[in-house]
Amino acid sequence: MKKLFPKIILMTLLLMFVLVLPGCGKTFELKSSAFKDGERIPDKHYYGQGRPNASIPFNWKNPPADTKSFALFVYNHNNRTNWAVFNIPADCTSIEENASGRNMPAGSIELVGHSRTPGYSGAEPPGQRLQNHEYFAVIYALNTDKINIIDPDIYKSINELNVYLEGKIIAKAEIKGFAQIE
């Protein structure tokens, strides 16, 4: 029992230390009030044919303590960029619905999307009814305050955008939705 007692004390102290650490056990999360992970994206966030093309609202929580800025990407299963936002301040935790081009976080930069205009270019599902078209939203916590974008007015695929993030990603959080013509 004498040999076991110090181990129990040590394990108890270790457990208390882990549970008291700020942010311990909290996962970096991305959510949207427009849809839940894995669910259908509402029509108002679609692009084309008279659709509203309202940018999707996002909020995130529990980023790493050493985060200096964020980057947000929305893209489809073919790596076609719908929205790319860089230089979102570290103290920002959300982007409101329909904020693109209107009410973006101070200092952030919206790149050209698939519609070849700066800002949000919503989901553009195929015209076939009941065909699911996957979309992904990813928020990156970065170790830099600012990323200098070369040619922000030229459309870039997700693969091209990821080059800007090499060596700068601390953590990422993502959700997936699908677009479907009803």
pLDDT for the residue 6: 52
Q: What is the pLDDT of residues 108-158, one digit of tens each?
A: 999 998 888 899 999 876 665 556 789 999 999 999 999 998 888 899 999
Q: What is the pLDDT of residues 87-98, one digit of tens each?
A: 999 999 999 999
Q: What is the pLDDT of residues 98-119, one digit of tens each?
A: 999 999 999 999 999 888 889 9
In a domain, 91, yes or no: yes
In a domain, 9, yes or no: no
What range defines the domain where residue 167 resides?
26-179
**Could you give the CA distance from residue 135 to residue 133 in angstroms, rounded to a whole number?**
7
**% of the chain with per-residue pLDDT over 70:** 81
CATH of the domain at 59: 3.90.280.10
**Could you give the CA distance from residue 75 to residue 84 in angstroms, rounded to a whole number?**
9
Distance of CA 2 to the CA centre of its chain: 52
- Kindly report the pTM of this predicted structure: 0.84
